[in-house]
Structure formats: C-alpha cells, structure tokens
Chain A
C-alpha cells in the first residue's frame, strides 16, 4: 500500500476542482473568447458537457475495479509488463502536464506581477513547497483543499462581482453570429482541461464511501463549469469579446478594475496571492500523482524517496520546454488538446474500459 489515506466525498470533489480550475480560469477565457467571440460562454457549456462525459468514462473505469487506483488496475487488467508500460505513459503525462502547469503559473507571475524576478525562482520555490505537501500524503492534500477552497471561491467571486459597474449586458449579443462552428472550436481547449478528470482514476480509489464516486465527478465538474462560466462571462461583459480576446489574462485584468470608494484599489496582488494558493494545490496534486506512479512502476514500498528527484526534473522541464509565454499559449492552444485528449485523457481510458469488458466477458464464458 503506497498510500493508506482515505478522503471523503467532498474532499475528492475539491481535489477534482483544484485539478482543473486554478489554471483554467486564467488561460481559458482568452483562448475561448478568441475562438468563439461573444459565444465563448456557450463553448464553456459545451466543454462542461464534454467534461461530464469524460468524467463518466473515468468513473465507469474505476467502478470496475473498486478500491484499486489507476496504477493498480492497469497491472491487473493488462498484466505486469504491459501494465507498467501504461503506467510509464501516465507518469509521463502527469510529469509533462505538471511541468506545463508550473510554467503557466511562473509565466503568469513574471509577466503580470513581478517582471524582474527570474522565472526559475518562482518555479523552484513553488515546487519546493509542494515537496513538503507531497511527502505529507493524500490526506494532507485533501485537508489543504478543504481549507483553501472557500478562499479561492471567495476570491473568484470578488473578482467577478466587484467590477459590476463596468458590465454591459448588450455584449452578449449577437448570439451564435457565425453559427455553431466557432462554439465547438472554442470548446476544444477547455475540453482538454476537463479531460484532466483522468486524475480521478487515482483518487476515486481512496474514497471512504466508494459508492459516492458519481457525486464526486458530477459536482466537481459542475463547480468547475460554473467558475469557468462566471469568469468567461464576466470578462466578456466587462471588456467585450474583442477586447477580452486580446488580453493575456482577462481575470487578472478584471481584478485590476476593482476600485471601491477610492481606497480599495489595486487589490489584484491580493487576489492573485490567493490564486497562487490554488495553483499551488494543482501543482501538488499532479506532482503527487506522478510520484505515486513512480512508486508503482518500480514497486517501491514508499514513494517518498522519489519526490525530490522527480521535482527537480519537473522544474527543469518547465523551464526549458518553452521559449516564451507566446510559445506556451500556442502550445496550450494547438498542441496540448489533441495530444492529451486523444492519448491519455480519452484514448487510453476507452481502450482500458473496452479491454476490461472483453476480459470480463471471456471469463464469464470460461466459467
């Protein structure tokens, strides 16, 4: 047993939310608005439906192997050797995604808040802090999620509510100006975020009430959808679709608009500080899942010795793999969705599910 902890339904849902939301609310609004214009919010709705489907897939998969996480059931399903190949693949996925997230966060801080501090400093520090969280195990991650969820939710709420006076509802119009096509196109990138629900294939095994897995996936996805929707609509209503598409981080620009009574101004640093806590948890989750995979890959008794080398490698990858923020956004927009969706988020889970059904059928025939 590499992880002996148990989490409850609410904590699992929080983990799912923190797996998707922190970076999604930062990058998705600009990307979808660029693709779908004022119908960006429809794209989010479409993507959320997709997210529910993807979540259903992962749920179906893990329900076939109750109490077993992704790394355990692939080995049961495909045998030790092929199973370990798949595990290796998923470790790569979590590792790569982790590095990309660290870069996203580092890029955001260097471009938007502290341009003079080197990227490496931000990336290394957050991973250093994450080392502590990852070594503490799943239960502690879940408790951190319990603690910061209200804070992050509050921060998002404030960012959306406080610039109310700038809002112009006519910016919704015209709806579906160019038909459904741009909406679908705009839904692809957020879909790759929702596809991250694949991480639940690991976490659902640790539920203390395994029958509530459905609740976890549905609620987690819906809350994600709601927060994303709120931010996308907010950004569009405040700035207008054309303007919002040009912004790098619409949510941050919204925070900058906040001004109350000539005194409470420029609270964006504060809002972003809270957001950093959220993105920290996202990094820790990816980090944890990847390191746990390493433990299964090599049959370790304890995953902790792998934590530091894995973290160092992840920081390195995060720094060297993109030239600039434009490069990163391009990657998130064009390359990541087809790559992640087709292989790790949908492709492999579908194959695993089909194999498990086939195998079950065969066993029934034999008996």
Chain B
C-alpha cells in the first residue's frame, strides 16, 4: 500500500534529478564546441576568452628563429617548471634554432616538424589537434606551443609544481621498516611503487574522474597475480563515477564500496608504499588518486585492519603476540564500557566478592546509574579527543591538561563519577588507540555506544544480541566479491596462517587463497634457514 503511494513521488523525484543531471552535463560540454584553427591570432583570442580572468594563465608570443614562424607558448604559471620553459623551450626556439634554420625548402608545414623534431629539447612531446585535448593537457600542467598556420599544437611535458617532500607517514608510524610515505602527487606515488616492484607486470592504468577536477586516478596491479575480474570490477565502478570533483581518495572509497550504509570500512587505505607493495604482491588492486597521499587497497577483509606493516618486519613471535593483543584490544574497545554496565547492573555475581564490594563502595556517592555515568564519561572523552585533534598544537596541549584534570581528578572528587569508571574509560581509549587502522577504530568507537545502550537494557543478553547483529552484518558484507570475514567465515584453513598469528616469512609460501589464487605459490617451498652441516 505504502509503496503505491510512494512510487509516483519517487519517480517524480528521480525525473527531476535526471533533468538537473542533464543540465549539468550540458554546461560542462560547452567547452568542447571550440576548434583549433590555422590562424594563431584567432586561437589566442579564443583562449584568452576561455581563460578570461585567470591571472595564472600565461601567453608568451614570439617569433621563432629569424622570422621562421610566429609562435605562442601558453602555460599556467606554477604548474610548469620554469627553468625548463625558459631553457628547453624559449631559449632553443629563440636562439639555438638558428643553427638548423637555413634550410631552403621551408614551407609552413614542415616548420612544425622542424620545431618538433629538431628544436624543442623536452622529453615528452606530442601533437594534439583538438581543442578539448589541448585544454586537458594545459590544465594538467603541460606547456602548449601554438604555431601560426597550424591547426594543431605541440604539447610539451614540463609539469612541475611545488609539492611536499617524501617523508615519514604520520598516521602509520613504525619503529622498524621503511620511512617513506606517499605524497599528494600521483607521479611521485607511482614512482615509489615502481621503485619497489621492478617488473613489467606491474601495471599502472590511469583514468580521469571528475568533470571539473579531472583528477588522475591510477589503478595499479600485478598482472598474473591479480584476479582479472576484480580489476575489471574496479574499472567498472570507477567509470560509473560522474561528479564534479574528487578531492581525496576518500571520495572514491565512498563511490565504489560494496555496502554504502555499512558502518564498517570496506576498503583499506594506507600511506605506506611498503604496505601497498605487499598488498600488490598478494594480488590485490591499489587505487591511487592524484592529490591524496592515501592509497586504497581492494579487496579488503576484516582482519587486514588488525595487521600493521611492522608485524612483517619484526620477529615473528613478538608480531604474533602483538596481533593477539590487538584482537583483545578490539574486544575491549568495543565492549568494555558495556560489559561494565552489564555486570554492575545485572550480573554482579560475576565479580569476585572483594572487587564487588570495593566497586559498590566507590559508587556510593555517585548520583547516576552506571549507564548514565558511562555515557557521560564516554561522551566527555570523545569531545576531548575531537578537540585535541582539531586544535592547533600549542592549544592542544592545554586541552589535554584540562582533560586529564577533569576526567581524572575533578569528576571523581566532585562525586559525579566513580574512579572505576575512569579506569574503564581510560582502558577503552587505550585499546581503541592500539588498533592500527584509524577507520576501523572510529567504527568501533561508534558501535560502542549502541552496545552501551543494549547492555543497559538487557545485560549480557543485549550485548550478545548486538554482537550477533554485527556478525550477521559482517557475514553479509563483501569487498569486491570477497567475503569480508574470510578466512574465518567462510572458513579457509589455508589462509588462517596470517590471521591470529604471524608465521615466519619462510613459512608463508602461499598467497591468500581467495585473492591471489591465480598463482598461489609466492616463494620456494624450503626456505627455512639452516646452519651449514658440521663436517665429519
């Protein structure tokens, strides 16, 4: 019944948005109507009209050689390397071209060939004859040379702009391991990967997304290891995106994930080239967007969020124990406050008698029930954390002092909360910080509040039902066709090796089955190091 009522409204709504969508597309396409003509002045007039009120648009008109041809070099200031423009283009065309000039059979046509083949000393040079194609290159940072009498232009690759240096990634710091991190320039990032995988099988395909931003997005994989269907699926989903702009790879993540309403992150991101390299070697696909230091890795499964790159560089015993510790941390971060509320409200018998008495004594003056107490403290802490992240650093310190005082001391002595609650909140926060992936940590932060409400209403039963709902949800999730909870559910014994523990490298000779199944073996079978046998 409802559906019948809603349907006309819905179709009307969809129609309206379709119309707007078409209008948007028309607006974007107007620029495609221009064409290059053979008349330099006309081309420049058109360009000046198009780039009206663009102060960084530079046109340098000149005569090449000794009256060889009228030329115009156009580029955007700040997007090109000024030294290359000055020495490799202008200097050669104005001065050095005279050395090759005195050819008697100069016609209009081969002036262009001459400039292209004998004069310009820039590595990347190609001819473009369409106006939109030229604009695209121009806006991406190339310089464009127009020659009078030619309905085509020379695009000269002299891109170069101010960019951050490759430095240690702040979000994924390690004690041991490479300290390089991705930066905002796509080329630099692909070079960081190419430097680690010196194989022609490493493919880097680039597509442009965003009608206005025209962001370069690179799809990177190793041919032969990757499942071609997944690559195809990545391309399909990326091509679907029709938007004005991509500002960060986070945009792409939300456009291409499997379940857009899930609170759980379904695509891993990383700032670390080494982590990305390892993912590529497992047969995953990496998506890099220009302007973002965060690479997306697909397909992603749940356990990846509990793995840090350092696990693979440190001694395997320690890495395994740390990994188990993280599993505990996940549970603590998700459940500790709600378990506290459930125990103090419903299941007091679970506590040893002495502890129970001490908790009861501490709570004596507290006016709130455990649930409200927990909620107050958790919310305070969340606010503190948010304030700490956003504030400028010098002020941030002040905040942490205030926070420590408010949470640690004043609230307790004022009798608003009990000291145990402070311990619980602190432990939860520590556990949350020890989860390596920030996006998974914030998801758990969010769900923690729901669990708190369930615990207050139904005790352990409520917590269990909450967990079961989460479990059903996780069992439903897939990331690019791979079940999110694999290799635990569906249970894949062969892949369990890298889940709870981290075996030594010589023992992990197989790639993950569901992802790198095309070429399962990653290294020789017997690599366990052995000391040389004693001479008899």
Please give, as numbers and ranges, the residues of chain B lying within 8 Å of A10 by CB-CB distance: 491
Cα A269 to Cα B491 in complex, Å, equals: 28
1/0 per residue, CB under 8 A from A, across B465-508: the answer is 10111011101100000010100111100000000000000000
- Beyond A265-B350, A273-B460, whether A146 also contacts B472 by CB under 8 A is no
Cα A155 to Cα B465 in complex, Å, equals: 17
Distance of B376 from chain A, by nearest CB (Å): 26
Contact indicator B475/A140 (Cβ below 8 Å): yes
Q: Does B33 contact A (CB under 8 A)?
A: no
Please give, as numbers and ranges, the residues of chain B lying within 8 Å of A113 by CB-CB distance: 459-461
Distance of B157 from chain A, by nearest CB (Å): 51
Contact indicator A129/B465 (Cβ below 8 Å): yes
Please give, as numbers and ranges, the residues of chain A lying within 8 Å of B352 by CB-CB distance: 262-263, 265
Contact indicator B468/A277 (Cβ below 8 Å): yes
Contact indicator A114/B346 (Cβ below 8 Å): yes
Contact indicator A266/B347 (Cβ below 8 Å): yes
Contact indicator B464/A143 (Cβ below 8 Å): no
Contact indicator B488/A147 (Cβ below 8 Å): yes
Q: Does A167 contact B (CB under 8 A)?
A: no
Please tell me which one of the listed residues B347, B461, B472, B485 contacts residue A109 in the complex, with CB atoms under 8 A apart.
B461
Q: Does A209 contact B (CB under 8 A)?
A: no
Q: Does B220 contact A (CB under 8 A)?
A: no
Cα A126 to Cα B351 in complex, Å, equals: 27
Please tell me which one of the listed residues A117, A129, A270 contacts residue B468 in the complex, with CB atoms under 8 A apart.
A129
Please give, as numbers and ranges, the residues of chain B lying within 8 Å of A325 by CB-CB distance: none
Q: Does A133 contact B (CB under 8 A)?
A: yes
Please give, as numbers and ranges, the residues of chain B lying within 8 Å of A136 by CB-CB distance: 472, 475-476
1/0 per residue, CB under 8 A from B, across A258-288: the answer is 0000110111011011101100100000000
Q: Does A200 contact B (CB under 8 A)?
A: no
CB contact list, B310-356 vs A, under 8 A: 346-347, 349-352
Cα A126 to Cα B465 in complex, Å, equals: 7
Please give, as numbers and ranges, the residues of chain B lying within 8 Å of A142 by CB-CB distance: 490
Distance of B140 from chain A, by nearest CB (Å): 45
Which of B461, B469, B483, B485 has the most CB atoms of chain A within a 10 A radius of its CB?
B461
Q: Does A148 contact B (CB under 8 A)?
A: yes
Please tell me which one of the listed residues A140, A147, A265, A273 contacts residue B476 in the complex, with CB atoms under 8 A apart.
A140
Q: Does A77 contact B (CB under 8 A)?
A: no
Q: Does A122 contact B (CB under 8 A)?
A: yes
Contact indicator B458/A132 (Cβ below 8 Å): no
Please tell me which one of the listed residues B464, B472, B473, B483 contacts residue A273 in the complex, with CB atoms under 8 A apart.
B464
Q: Does A144 contact B (CB under 8 A)?
A: yes
Please give, as numbers and ranges, the residues of chain A lying within 8 Å of B485 by CB-CB distance: 143, 147
Please give, as numbers and ranges, the residues of chain A lying within 8 Å of B465 by CB-CB distance: 125-126, 129, 276, 280
CB contact list, A278-336 vs B, under 8 A: 280
B interface majority secondary structure: helix
Q: Does B153 contact A (CB under 8 A)?
A: no
Please tell me which one of the listed residues A114, A144, A270, A273 contacts residue B475 in the complex, with CB atoms under 8 A apart.
A144
Cα A7 to Cα B471 in complex, Å, equals: 18
Please give, as numbers and ranges, the residues of chain B lying within 8 Å of A267 by CB-CB distance: 350
Contact indicator A148/B476 (Cβ below 8 Å): no
Please give, as numbers and ranges, the residues of chain A lying within 8 Å of B475 by CB-CB distance: 136, 140, 143-144, 147
Q: Does A69 contact B (CB under 8 A)?
A: no
Q: Does B463 contact A (CB under 8 A)?
A: yes
Q: Does A11 contact B (CB under 8 A)?
A: yes
Cα A10 to Cα B458 in complex, Å, equals: 34
1/0 per residue, CB under 8 A from A, across B106-140: the answer is 00000000000000000000000000000000000
Please give, as numbers and ranges, the residues of chain B lying within 8 Å of A253 by CB-CB distance: none
Please give, as numbers and ranges, the residues of chain B lying within 8 Å of A75 by CB-CB distance: none
Q: Nearest CB to that of A281 among chain B residues?
A: B468
CB contact list, A85-143 vs B, under 8 A: 109, 113-114, 117, 121-122, 125-126, 129, 132-133, 136, 140, 142-143
Distance of A112 from chain B, by nearest CB (Å): 11
Contact indicator A11/B490 (Cβ below 8 Å): yes
Contact indicator A146/B350 (Cβ below 8 Å): no
1/0 per residue, CB under 8 A from B, across A332-349: the answer is 000000000000000000
Distance of A17 from chain B, by nearest CB (Å): 14
- Beyond A10-B491, A140-B475, A263-B352, whether A132 also contacts B464 by CB under 8 A is no
- Beyond A273-B460, A276-B461, whether A143 also contacts B489 by CB under 8 A is yes
Please give, as numbers and ranges, the residues of chain B lying within 8 Å of A273 by CB-CB distance: 460-461, 463-464
Please give, as numbers and ranges, the residues of chain B lying within 8 Å of A266 by CB-CB distance: 347, 349-351
Contact indicator A146/B469 (Cβ below 8 Å): no
Q: Nearest CB to that of A144 among chain B residues?
A: B475
Please give, as numbers and ranges, the residues of chain B lying within 8 Å of A8 by CB-CB distance: 490
Cα A273 to Cα B467 in complex, Å, equals: 10
Contact indicator B471/A148 (Cβ below 8 Å): yes
Q: Nearest CB to that of B349 among chain A residues?
A: A266
Cα A11 to Cα B475 in complex, Å, equals: 13
Contact indicator B483/A143 (Cβ below 8 Å): yes
Cα A147 to Cα B303 in complex, Å, equals: 13
- Can you report 24 A-B residue pairs in the complex whose CB atoms are below 8 A from each other? A10-B491, A114-B461, A117-B458, A121-B458, A122-B461, A129-B469, A132-B472, A140-B472, A143-B485, A144-B472, A146-B491, A262-B352, A263-B352, A265-B350, A266-B349, A266-B350, A269-B347, A269-B459, A269-B460, A270-B350, A273-B464, A276-B465, A277-B467, A277-B471
Given A114-B458, A140-B472, 9 extra CB contacts under 8 A = A11-B491, A121-B458, A129-B468, A129-B469, A129-B472, A147-B471, A147-B485, A266-B349, A266-B351
4 closest A-B pairs (Cβ-Cβ)? Answer: A146-B489, A143-B475, A143-B489, A147-B489
